[in-house]
Structure 1
Amino acid sequence: MKKFGQVAGSVTLAAVVGLGGSPAQAAQAAQAAQAAQAAQAAQAAAAPAAGLPGLVAYVRGGDVYVGKGTTEQRLTTGGGHARPRWSPDGRRLAVLHQGRVWVMAADGSGRRRLSTRPAGGASWSPDGGSIAFASLSCTGGPGVYRISATAAGAEPEVLFPRDCRGEELPEETTAGPATGSLRERLQYDNAVAWSPDGSRIAFRGGDCESVYDACLTIGTVTTGAEQTVEAYGGGGTQNRGFAVVPSWRPDGVKLSWTAYRQGETAADDRPVHLVEYDTATGTKRTVGGALDRELAYVDGDRAVVTSRNNGGSWLTVLGLANGTRTLLRSGSQPSIQPLPR
């Protein structure tokens, strides 16, 4: 499991003084930092104008928060948390804690671990009865499992790879937290995404890893069939990179992911960025800006993404058609609470 560290972007007086300038210069720099913080606060205060329908769950400093407008509530303490995901009814959250899948109520109460298996970011089935997560498969690569979200003592079952269905589950292993650059932390993130109609799951890896160095797959739950939607290295492709953290648009027509590409030439290189894929036509387009990642759809026109702002990770509302951007608050790994049904 790969988790992320988040640091709010701010400049402290101690840091300014440490640059070695005069006291007057330090004071001026401190005033500038305070002005920048005030501007960020003003941007955050304007966020309600974005009209988000519900709460946003996100991670800061290894803990889970939920917020809307200028208010927020901290749901966990102690760090080690990642990838919060709202249930379809908006009443529960699935979250990784120390690399295992837990569920809890929307206010953080009633926390319960679902499985002892090390896991990548989880995703709810549309009926809220099951949770899919990534873990080591019988092939030695990443696989996808399904487990009941409600039954006590439930055991996970294999969904992908199809050939691992019915096989003995591999031994549980422990992986350390991801470290290094943003690219290095993202590269092996195993978050999965269950389609809104329940028929498909998008995940990193799959059978395509026998051909490519890295790939992203859409798997059909009933049959186990796999479709490769992005691939890097091997199989005649002259590039390197990855596609991770998939996210379905609420209507299931579009799928987005976080990508990185090192091309055959420097002109083909792309830093961390977001790709949106049309499942009907197979066309792809880049959305957002450089270093945007972890897109969570609000609707067909907007999404909340993690962006870089003042040296830290910030949640940003992104207009998918016109590219407009509204800062919300510091944090990363957003998930949008569904409207009550």
Structure 2
Amino acid sequence: MKKNFGQVAGNVAIAAAASFCCVVCNPSTVQAAAPSSQLPSMVAYVRNGDVYASKGSTEQRLTTGGSHARPRWSPNGKQIAFLKKGQVWTMKADGTGQRRLSTRPAAGPSWSPDGKWIAFSSLSCNGGPGVYSIPADGTKKEKVLFPRDCRTEALPAETEAAKSVAKELKSDNAVAWSPDGVQLAFRGGNCESIYDSCLSVGDVKTGGEKTVAAFGGGGVQNSGFAVVPSWRSDGAKLAFTAYQEGETATESKPVHLVEYDAITGAQRTIGNAMDRELDYVDASRAVVTSQNAGTTWVTVVGLATGLRTPFKSGEQPSVQPVVR
């Protein structure tokens, strides 16, 4: 049975405190906001339904009116793709030039490494979540990438997708394009014919898929989900947000972050309970959404040291690429 990410996060908040050691519980009692010297570029994030960007002590509000989500920087750091009322839009780094790319209901977008395409999740021809791509300049309609069998089928009507999105896309369906442009990570895929919930990495060219995480069914005695994938800039690591209910209390894990080694397949848990939505700053640091005193807070986390520095009130962080 698939679970809604927001509902689960709220339900397990108390269990999280008992199951994990929370290092940062109140940002007002620890270090001040990370100074600009600690971050090489801007971080975009969402607060109360609007997108903000900051590098340190000051911040810039990029949108107004609410209903904005999942900002993602372009590879050259000059644009941001985001969701507005559940549809894919783009804007310049200062918030100007906002433009809608697709009227199809969508989940979290991701840029191709060359900046020419934007991938997003929406209803597929088989009734489940699929992955589409659309030119970033908005000159053409979207096309299907996954499932592969849907590439030759007619696209679901946008009105049909609108009616189904609340039912079919219960968990967050943000996608992540690999730095080499070869693969896309996304929730669901062909593995959903075996498991109750899963996370896949698919080959953009061939349409082939590999299961990265699976819950329920197929001999797996647990339930849960894996969502909001994010690649490290070298493509060697893939992080995602997960939740697991095991057969026993010791096998259960509240909302947490998992780092997957794309070469060996090894996985490790990083951060604290209720950490989620990781985006890499570099090989040693990341920004995450953390739970602090009942509020969401973007926090800088040392991946090896565990050192945590509160950054800004908000969620869904995205790090601006450093272009050299």
**TM-score normalized by structure 1?**
0.84
Distance 1:111 1:3, change over 3 A: farther
Q: How far apart in 1 are the matches of 2:239 and 2:27?
A: 31
Kept in 2: contact 1:3–1:82 (CA 8 A): no
CA shift at 1:174, angstroms?
2.2
The residue correspondences of 1:178-257 to structure 2 (distance < 5 A) are 188-257=171-240
**Residue aligned with 1:165, SS:** helix
- 2:136 corresponds in structure 1 to 149
What are structure 1's unaligned runs of at least 5 residues?
6-35, 179-185
Select the structure of larger CA radius of gyration.
1
Kept in 1: contact 2:198–2:215 (CA 8 A): yes
Kept in 1: contact 2:27–2:292 (CA 8 A): no
Kept in 1: contact 2:74–2:81 (CA 8 A): yes
Matched, 1:118 2:101: no
**Residue aligned with 2:108, SS:** coil
Matched, 1:174 2:157: no
What are structure 2's unaligned runs of at least 5 residues?
8-25
**TM-score normalized by structure 2?**
0.88
Which one-letter code corresponds to 2:312 in the other structure? Answer: R
Matched, 1:43 2:32: yes
> What are the Cα deviations for residues 246-273 of structure 1, in whole angstroms up to 9, with x where unaligned?
0000000000000000001111110000
> What are the Cα deviations for residues 175-202 of structure 1, in whole angstroms up to 9, with x where unaligned?
6998xxxxxxx96100000000000000
Q: How far apart in 2 are the matches of 1:308 and 1:73?
A: 23
Q: How far apart in 1 are the matches of 2:295 and 2:112?
A: 32
Q: How far apart in 1 are the matches of 2:315 and 2:245?
A: 24
Q: Could you say what the CA RMSD is over the residues aligned between the two structures, in angstroms?
A: 2.0
Which one-letter code corresponds to 1:238 in the other structure? Answer: Q
- 1:165 corresponds in structure 2 to 151
CA shift at 1:43, angstroms?
1.4
Kept in 1: contact 2:120–2:133 (CA 8 A): yes
Distance 1:177 1:292, change over 3 A: farther
Kept in 1: contact 2:36–2:57 (CA 8 A): no
Distance 1:163 1:323, change over 3 A: same
The residue correspondences of 1:191-340 to structure 2 (distance < 5 A) are 191-340=174-323
Distance 1:276 1:192, change over 3 A: same
Distance 1:238 1:37, change over 3 A: closer
Aligned sequence identity (%):
64
Which one-letter code corresponds to 1:88 in the other structure? Answer: P
Q: How far apart in 2 are the matches of 1:331 and 1:268?
A: 30
- 2:70 corresponds in structure 1 to 83
- 2:48 corresponds in structure 1 to 61
In the TM superposition, structure 1's runs of 4+ consecutive aligned residues that sit over 4 Å from their partners are: 2-5, 36-40, 175-178
Distance 1:166 1:37, change over 3 A: closer
Q: How far apart in 2 are the matches of 1:336 and 1:118?
A: 25
Q: How far apart in 2 are the matches of 1:339 and 1:267?
A: 41
Aligned residues: 299
CA shift at 1:151, angstroms?
3.8
